[in-house]
Structure 1
């Protein structure tokens, strides 16, 4: 089946929409490998020798990852990305002009449901490509029940960075993505799914934009709500212990992102090995099973070659700086539209169903016995089934 078969939009194409093909200049790849080979590993310490990884990635893991990264074939990742339709769209917004990158599968079915899938940090649009692959194997363009849009958040991957002359917030991303969907011809309504930062953006899209008709998330970190009732299941009790452990021992990175992103920008772009350690730690700690090393290297390489680590940190100023109100605590972002939640046990903060229900009109809930923070990567068929069931339940209603 040709690539163009899933790339025909039902409406007239908006001005500023162009096909996009990933093609990183070879000299940039060569420079990355050269820097990687010159980067030093630290001497072994008590902390870096802990196989439990309680103090972070181990030296042995980094030795192996460094060696394999030095011979990593980025062109294979490019070919995989380019096997899907990719686009950029110029969007005029009150925060300034933006160019938003997105991958997509566009249906030729007249009643196809527009669905936008939103990633977070240290994720990126690559997280959802396994799900897109499942969809294009299962359906033809004529039978695909959805128009699936997978954008890169502003400042991530191939989307333009946030503005230099002003603060940039979740509300800005939500407004830009709502306009993205409208400009693509889906202004009559769409559904949104998100994890991590994407779940925060999804909430604001639902609360502030009429075109968004419902929200499904697989991430719902929040403090314990007042007056919540009902007994917790055994998995939920275990999940809260994991949440407590994360808040005590695993969330320091977020405070650093929020309070010292400038310093981190220099530290993490000084050499590829630093970036690998910082990102890999999260992929290893927040998943049910260690992801394949190649999967981690794809994402880290994407961050390095697009130079987007510094421009990807802005959500944390809003979400984790002490005194700021998060996307759950603010009543104006309570979801009054159909709300779905998929619970995975090795999520970094798996909160109970009763807690999630205080943040919106929870009409769909599914508890799984495996999977973690990167559900779209770890359990693509499972998450896709939840999304399809959520769409079937809420769209016609």
Structure 2
């Protein structure tokens, strides 16, 4: 397999990994789906505008397609990309196995880029970008080392510890250690959306090896003492969109933040429940409804790795359930002082205006797009990749001076 030669500076030899879901797990999923009972139609579930959630028609169609979904075909696709498992020891001695995909370059001046997913995403979000890069370059010409981990609690990485609270600062510390082990202690760029953007902000603020950050999500509240006269017409529309989502679309986040144990039991026990809970997000948070296969690929990964319950922990830190809550983006402790880039997509669920984002760091790069939603990495992979490449080309020459 190409793109597998680690840099000479690597301090570890991660174990190559292949996804191999047991036949029994695939058969169990199909049986549970076949036996699952669909709720009777209601006024709410018959509304075609999905104002009250997914529709009866959609859930029945998705259930039928999932019953016959060819996981093995998709599994083979995943396994065309180099994957690894490697132990990372935290500062308290706790060992985590971290799963990651990687395209390693053989160019001595290749720029390391760490790409971070969110919820209900996974490493799958970045497969289209990895496909673009592996088709466009050879190991000898690839200008970057691309590292795409499953953050703890997601995919094939270890879950959060059972005996203590686990926060995004802990995730950032582990990922910084991973990058050092892979040979990138002298510097790397981080890119993230959703929860990944918040991990990225902490990484670039707290770890010297992280030299620059590019994000496509920046959830925040109005900065203190902000002059509203600075807002453009687009800024005002952005704030209105964010306020509407907070009012009518964010109940899932409060449930995941305040009752994650209860919700975890419910969703982990029924693939149909998982389909409704996550399927709704893929429909509502994208610019255009994605293909059913894209939704089922992600759902299947969550189901086969049994990670829906272990994926909720970031929400206690990122959701403002406490009136004194200070979000990660608003917290001056994590103000970005290094090169900072941002890509704005119009169908983001909790967008922030540029004028607000600029209060959290000095923007070196900002680009607005006319299409795209919350899952930019798979909705608009060419566009997001172009932004990241342009950002890196602009700032990297200065990062290591």
**TM-score, normalised via structure 2 length:** 0.96
Show the counterpart of 1:312: 311
C-alpha deviation, 1:237, in angstroms: 2.9
Q: 2:52 aligns with which of 52, 55, 66?
A: 55
Distance 1:16 1:164, change over 3 A: farther
Question: Quick check: 1:72 aligned with 2:69?
Answer: yes
Show the counterpart of 1:216: 214
Question: Quick check: 1:277 aligned with 2:276?
Answer: yes
C-alpha deviation, 1:235, in angstroms: 3.5
Show the counterpart of 2:243: 244
In 2, Cα distance between equivalents of 1:332 and 1:105: 33
Show the counterpart of 2:365: 364
C-alpha deviation, 1:240, in angstroms: 2.0
In 1, Cα distance between equivalents of 2:217 and 2:341: 11
Q: 2:158 aligns with which of 160, 165, 182?
A: 160
How do residues 325-336 of structure 1 correspond to structure 2 at under 5 angstroms?
Answer: 325-336=326-337
In 2, Cα distance between equivalents of 1:76 and 1:325: 44
Q: Which moved more, 1:204-213 or 1:324-333?
A: 324-333
CA deviation profile, 1:360-393 (whole Å, cap 9, x unmatched): 1211000000000000010000000000001001
| Structure 1: gaps of 5 or more residues | none
C-alpha deviation, 1:231, in angstroms: 4.3
Does the residue aligned with 2:182 lie in a helix, a strand or coil? helix
In 2, Cα distance between equivalents of 1:16 and 1:106: 13
In 2, Cα distance between equivalents of 1:235 and 1:60: 36
In 1, Cα distance between equivalents of 2:47 and 2:223: 36
| Structure 2: gaps of 5 or more residues | none
CA deviation profile, 1:259-310 (whole Å, cap 9, x unmatched): 0000001110111000010001111111100011100000011000000001
Contact 1:236–1:350 (8 Å) recurs in 2: no
In 1, Cα distance between equivalents of 2:286 and 2:63: 21
C-alpha deviation, 1:91, in angstroms: 0.5
C-alpha deviation, 1:349, in angstroms: 1.5
How do residues 1-397 of structure 1 correspond to structure 2 at under 5 angstroms?
Answer: 3=1, 5-11=2-8, 13-15=10-12, 17-94=14-91, 96-229=94-227, 231-320=230-319, 321-322=321-322, 323-397=324-398
Does the residue aligned with 1:99 lie in a helix, a strand or coil? strand
Contact 2:190–2:200 (8 Å) recurs in 1: yes
C-alpha deviation, 1:122, in angstroms: 0.2
Does the residue aligned with 2:113 lie in a helix, a strand or coil? strand
Does the residue aligned with 2:99 lie in a helix, a strand or coil? strand
C-alpha deviation, 1:243, in angstroms: 0.6
**TM-score, normalised via structure 1 length:** 0.97
In 1, Cα distance between equivalents of 2:266 and 2:56: 19
Contact 2:10–2:184 (8 Å) recurs in 1: no
Distance 1:352 1:154, change over 3 A: same
Contact 1:117–1:150 (8 Å) recurs in 2: yes
C-alpha deviation, 1:16, in angstroms: 5.9
Contact 2:192–2:200 (8 Å) recurs in 1: yes
Q: Which moved more, 1:219-228 or 1:12-21?
A: 12-21
Contact 2:98–2:156 (8 Å) recurs in 1: yes
Contact 2:235–2:355 (8 Å) recurs in 1: no
C-alpha deviation, 1:13, in angstroms: 4.8
In 1, Cα distance between equivalents of 2:73 and 2:256: 31
C-alpha deviation, 1:167, in angstroms: 0.5
C-alpha deviation, 1:12, in angstroms: 5.4
Q: Which moved more, 1:75-84 or 1:87-96?
A: 87-96
C-alpha deviation, 1:234, in angstroms: 3.8
Does the residue aligned with 1:325 lie in a helix, a strand or coil? coil
In 1, Cα distance between equivalents of 2:234 and 2:383: 18
